A and B are shown apart, each in its own frame.
Chain A
Amino acid sequence: MPVNTRPIHPALPRASGRFASPNRRLLLLTMLALAVMAIYMTLNLSGNLRYILLHRGQVLATLLLVAFASGVAALLFQTVTHNRILTPSIMGMESLFILIQTLALFFIDADALNSLGTVGKFVCESLLLVIFSVLLYRWLFASVGVDLHRVLLAGLVSGTLFNSLSSLMQRLLSPGEFAILQGRMFATFTRAAPEVLALAAAIVLVITLIIWRMRHQLDVVALGRDDAVSLGVCWRQKTLVLLILIAVLVAISTALVGPLTFFGLLVANLTWQLAGSHRHQYLLPVVVLTGIVTLVGGQLILERLLHMSGSLSVVIEFTGGGLFLYLLINKVRV
């Protein structure tokens, strides 16, 4: 499903100075991420240490998982679609997941849903998301073809449609409206339930293994459909696998914190700049680390320095939306 057949990768930024090699950049980013995490855990420690550390540890784990899931999903989507402006969340996948959650609440009675448990519920919903998104995006890319703007607009409008449908159903479920509106307007970075965290961590581990084994094939996929096929990649199968992985990652990040429309775009584009290489063995770790630095660092600055807790997702939306506008108008060739 290549959306743009022209090479998307601009020339790499001129390598200069001491951090020219991708390995060194990776090392630097790792140190930065570790430092940010350490500061997050230890800043202003006082009172009941055990409780505070446990609480912060859980928030941190949530942030790390979201950084991984959201960032890698965006990067893989850009690799598959051969484009630097498309991400799963911009194409409405997060809204689709929320719609599936709402539909489940709407059509299955609460007792049956509760008997599945948190884990069972999450697994079922993710499976549904995988099935629907594979069907939807295959159809979308097949029917719209190569017109990037049409694909983008269709994706954005689909996202709006899914959002409106879920809010309509939520209103039918409970006429009290405000809690619902707040729930879907932006993501909140609080700690997720421990069992969901554990499950998400386990899935992320498995996905890491799968993707890491595929890293060289991903480099070939990134060349675009024609080149990849002529180099011996089974395109249909590879893109199907990648789309499934992306859907699972989106499910994880949305289930943990909620919709984050522009985070993936922001992090993936930073990664293209920072990695110093377009090989996935560098891109993949860099996207995760950049995500961690952005999320944890942003949370640190907003929550501890400026005392504006809860607003990180809005700030990300603002920055990401601006970046999208800039990319759209100045950078993307059609």
Chain B
Amino acid sequence: MKMNLFAGLAVMLALMAGSLCVGPGNVTLSGLWTNAEMRDIALISRVPRTLALMLAGCAMSVSGLILQMLTQNRFVEPTLAGTTQSASLGLLLVTLISPSAPVITKMAVSTLFALAGTLLFMLLIQRMRIRSALLVPLSGMMLGAVFSAITTFLAMQFDLLQSLGGWASGDFSGVMQGRYELLWSVGGLTLLAMLIADRFTLAGMGRDISVNSGLNYPRVMLTGMTIIALVCGVVVVVIGVLPFVGLIVPNIVSMAMGDNLRRSLPWVTMCGGGLVVLCDIAGRLIGYPFEVPASAMLGVVGAVIFLTLLLRKKRHAR
């Protein structure tokens, strides 16, 4: 087990090194120590970008996993639960009302909206008369569509479609030194999630079992949702929407090693970060020297994997 984890870590470091070397400016690993220009490119653009990819990927996949535990459903993640869409709505509103607000304010507002959106989603699925595993993501998608329609409508009325287009797609090409540091906070949240992983594992067994075993169920639910909302708020403000990471990574990891979060969370974190780094590298290479945003690559890869999971003969999601 330990060996596997180290092997995974090595693969991830290799990916990050790859991300350092890919791009229009020529950077080689050996040149970093000798060539001042390469060092500048690396320190100002490549290193921040790679770190941002890593942090965003880890946090999104972990928040997907937490949401899956809280809803006891395999097929949800923040972009399929209205969370990121409501975060975008919040970001749009704050941009409308005070365009010059500092990033922290924008982040706070969009986090609050994300939290409200997630709460609404939770209420919705609790009120459902039919308990069906697939109805949950369906409702989440529709809730997201409704939020998006409101956002688009407002953006149209106030001529903000262009900014909306910017944060509707997760694009790492603008990440530079000084523009991504907020993402460290989601790294912290990921660590926090790892620390209290056992509680989410228990919550994933349902209300009755978790209350029975002494868990403060409402508090764990609220903590989980707050983590998810914070992650989505920050990632939407700094990067944009990253679809499907939170869905496919936890599903694949859980197929391999089950649902004990304390064991699987390191893997989910690593694979999530690795997937986003990989997609970004692919996006940088596919139309070289132009870039395709990581989110566009993720949309394709993620949808294919999601469909495969959905149509598998042996039912994974109960």
Contacts and interface: CB of A to CB of B under 8 A. Distances in A.
A186 B287 CA distance: 26
Contacts of B124: 325, 329
Nearest to B143: A325
A308 B154 CA distance: 11
A165 B292 contact: no
A330 to B, nearest CB: 7
B307 A318 contact: no
B299 A171 contact: no
Given A156-B138, A175-B290, A181-B168, A186 B152 contact: yes
A258 to B, nearest CB: 13
B307 to A, nearest CB: 5
Contacts of B306: 157
A105 B146 CA distance: 32
Given A314-B153, A314-B156, A329 B165 contact: no
Nearest to A308: B157
B257 interface: no
B141 A164 contact: no
B135 interface: yes
A164 B149 contact: no
Interface in A148-200: 149-150, 152-154, 156-158, 160-161, 163-165, 167-168, 171-172, 175, 177-178, 181-182, 185-186
B150 interface: yes
Nearest to B290: A175
Contacts of A322: 146
A310 B152 CA distance: 11
B145 interface: yes
B161 A318 contact: no
A205 interface: no
A328 B149 contact: no
3 closest pairs, A vs B, by CB?
A: A164-B299, A161-B303, A149-B134
Contacts of A150: 134, 310-311
Interface string A297-334: 00000000000101100110110011011001110111
A189 to B, nearest CB: 13
Interface residues of B, number: 46
B296 A171 contact: yes
B307 A161 contact: yes
Contact of A153 (B134, B145, B293): B134
Interface residues of A, number: 46
Contact of A149 (B132, B156, B291): B132
A318 B150 contact: yes
Interface in B258-310: 286-287, 290-293, 296-297, 299-300, 303-304, 306-307, 310
Contacts of B310: 150, 153-154, 157
Interface in A271-316: 308, 310-311, 314-315
B303 A160 contact: yes
B127 interface: yes
A144 interface: yes
Contacts of A175: 287, 290-291
Interface in B140-178: 141-143, 145-146, 149-150, 152-153, 156-157, 161-162, 165, 168-169
Instruction: Decide if the interface of chain B is mainly helix, strand, loop or mixed.
Output: helix
A161 B307 CA distance: 9
B139 interface: yes
A152 B130 CA distance: 15
Instruction: Decide if the interface of chain A is mainly helix, strand, loop or mixed.
Output: helix
A152 B138 contact: yes
B139 A172 contact: no
A143 interface: yes
Interface string A93-123: 0000000000000000000000000000000
A152 B304 CA distance: 16
B149 A321 contact: yes
A164 B161 CA distance: 19
A143 to B, nearest CB: 6
Interface string A259-281: 00110000000000000000000
A310 B168 contact: no
A163 B243 CA distance: 13
Contacts of B153: 311, 314-315, 318
Contacts of B143: 325
Contacts of B141: 156
A334 B132 contact: yes
B291 to A, nearest CB: 8
B311 A144 contact: yes
B129 interface: yes
A141 to B, nearest CB: 12
Interface string A199-240: 000000000000000000000000000000000000000000
A321 B142 contact: yes
Nearest to B287: A172
Given A168-B299, A329-B130, 15 more contacts: A149-B138, A153-B75, A153-B310, A156-B141, A160-B299, A164-B243, A164-B300, A171-B292, A172-B286, A172-B292, A261-B145, A317-B145, A325-B124, A325-B146, A332-B130
Contacts of B290: 171-172, 175
B118 to A, nearest CB: 16
A334 B129 CA distance: 11
Contacts of A161: 299-300, 303-304, 307
In this complex, the member of B150, B157, B169, B303 whose beta carbon has the largest number of chain A beta carbons within 10 angstroms is: B303
Contacts of A164: 243, 296, 299-300, 303
Contacts of A334: 130, 132
A263 to B, nearest CB: 13
Nearest to B147: A321
